[in-house]
Structure 1
Amino acid sequence: MIKFIQDTLYKMGLIVKLVRPDNNLWLQNRGIKTVLDIGANTGQFANLIQKVLPQASIISFEPIKKCYDELLVNTKNINVKAFNCALGDVEEQQEINISAHTPSSSLLNMADLHTEVFAGTNFVEKEIISIKRLDDVFPDLKINGKFMVKVDVQGFEDRVIKGGVETLKKADSVLIETSFVELYKDQLLFDGIYQLLIGLGFEFKGNYTQTKNKEDGSILYAESFFTNTK
């Protein structure tokens, strides 16, 4: 039934990622106390991970004001602290492309393949947002104990890593969206993200979920899980 619902919404241009709590003992056993939710959108991941790790606090980052406002409403009953900014490798103000399907919004331009395989995700407006570096904001977060970093920023993942090198070295694990084909122009694909994280002392443990092209079955992108070996 879950797969049917996902497939039906996918045909409508909606991408739905579901976490199944009964299959997450391996993650629960890691003793994670805090989750950094980078690219929070309207709180979908925060609400899902709260069910998996109910004792963990969640710190969310979402740059688009409308999505941030919805995030606050959608997470008001769980332990979430939210910031209205993006994370990258340089602190600056930049224009973000907002998609008709807001989870597809990106600081990068959309590649043709994206609109071909995901109908209804074209960019419809722009907004000036604030970008900060993870290494700069991390000290003020006052995190104690093990923490996991989740990154879902539509092609901007390598910039988040480069702006958070010292923070990531302290993380227990990283759950990051990785693409195998170019969905956003100039994005770093899986191999590049893999090399960056391996260079920081992480080990690739596999793909938590992956999304395929409905036309030919090829894998487009995945949520890849890495653990810190240091």
Structure 2
Amino acid sequence: MIKLIQDIFYKMGIIIKLVRPENNKWLQKRNLGYVLDIGANTGQYANLIHKILPNAKIISFEPIKGCYEQLVENTKGINVKAINCAIGDVNEQQEINISAHTPSSSLLPMANLHTEVFAGTDYVKKETITVKRLDDVFPQLKINGKFMVKVDVQGFEDRVIKGGIETLKKADSILIETSFEELYKDQLLFDGIYQLLINIGYAFQGNYTQTFNKEDGRILYAESFFVNTAKN
């Protein structure tokens, strides 16, 4: 039944990821006090990580106005600070492409493979948003403990890293979406993200989840976990 439901949503371009909180003892042992949730959408990850790390303070970044408003509503009652901006390698206003399936929205153009594999995710409009560098935002967050950074920004991952190198050097770990094929034009694929993080002291620990092409089963993208070796 679960597989049937997943397949139905998959055909609609909606990805269902099943991660059981009790399988995250390894993450709980890291004693994280904060989670930076970059690319929060409407609070899906914030609610999940709250179940896994109920005592951690979550700081969620979401640039799209409608999604931000839903994020605030969906995280009432848990320890979340929501910030209405995107994270990148510049401080400026940019236009974001909004998908019919909002988690697929991106500052980058969508590649043909994405629309072929994930039906119903085409862009439907644009919105002007604020983009900020993580290194410029971080001092304002007043973080005084161990923190993890989660990055889910639809092909914009390398920009987040480049604008937040000094912050990432302070982080305990990073959970970042990495692609093995181009789903967004001009995105950096897994090898490039891996090299950027290795260069600042991180070690790849494996993939938390993986998403497959339903046509032939090849892996398209994953949530990859890296640990800061200088901090451990």
| TM-score of the aligned structures, taking structure 2 as reference length | 0.97
Residue aligned with 1:98, SS: strand
Counterparts of 1:55 and 1:2 in 2: how far apart (Å)?
A: 30
Q: Which residue of 1 aligns with 2:108?
A: 108
4+ residue segments displaced more than 4 Å = none
Q: Which residue of 2 aligns with 1:211?
A: 211
Residue aligned with 2:129, SS: strand
Counterparts of 2:23 and 2:5 in 1: how far apart (Å)?
A: 19
Counterparts of 1:4 and 1:163 in 2: how far apart (Å)?
A: 41
Deviation at 1:19, TM superposition (A): 2.4
Please say if residues 210 and 223 of structure 1, whose CA atoms lie closer than 8 Å, have aligned partners that are also in contact: yes
The superposition leaves residues 74-118 of structure 1 with CA deviations (integer Å, 9 ceiling, x where unpaired) of 001110001000000010100000000000000000000000000
Residue aligned with 1:138, SS: helix
Are 1:23 and 2:57 an aligned pair?
no
Q: Which residue of 1 aligns with 2:145?
A: 145
Counterparts of 1:30 and 1:38 in 2: how far apart (Å)?
A: 20
Are 1:68 and 2:68 an aligned pair?
yes
- For residues 1-230 of structure 1, what are the structure 2 equivalents within 5 Å? 1-230=1-230
Counterparts of 2:95 and 2:202 in 1: how far apart (Å)?
A: 32
The superposition leaves residues 4-24 of structure 1 with CA deviations (integer Å, 9 ceiling, x where unpaired) of 432331122211223210110
Counterparts of 1:226 and 1:18 in 2: how far apart (Å)?
A: 20
Counterparts of 1:95 and 1:54 in 2: how far apart (Å)?
A: 35
In angstroms, what is the RMSD of aligned CA positions? 0.8
* Residues 1:23 and 1:4: Cα distance change in structure 2 (over 3 Å): farther
Residue aligned with 1:227, SS: strand
Identity fraction in percent: 80
Residue aligned with 2:90, SS: coil
Counterparts of 2:134 and 2:25 in 1: how far apart (Å)?
A: 29
Counterparts of 2:171 and 2:2 in 1: how far apart (Å)?
A: 32
Counterparts of 2:69 and 2:191 in 1: how far apart (Å)?
A: 35
Deviation at 1:144, TM superposition (A): 1.3
Number of equivalences: 230
Residue aligned with 2:211, SS: strand
Counterparts of 1:201 and 1:76 in 2: how far apart (Å)?
A: 36
Deviation at 1:204, TM superposition (A): 0.1
Counterparts of 2:122 and 2:209 in 1: how far apart (Å)?
A: 24
Deviation at 1:2, TM superposition (A): 4.0
Please say if residues 36 and 150 of structure 1, whose CA atoms lie closer than 8 Å, have aligned partners that are also in contact: yes
Residue aligned with 1:129, SS: strand
Deviation at 1:3, TM superposition (A): 4.0
Residue aligned with 2:183, SS: coil
Structure 1 residue runs without a partner (length 5+): none
Counterparts of 2:61 and 2:156 in 1: how far apart (Å)?
A: 14
Please say if residues 18 and 48 of structure 1, whose CA atoms lie closer than 8 Å, have aligned partners that are also in contact: no
The superposition leaves residues 124-156 of structure 1 with CA deviations (integer Å, 9 ceiling, x where unpaired) of 000000000000010010011110000000000
Structure 2 residue runs without a partner (length 5+): none
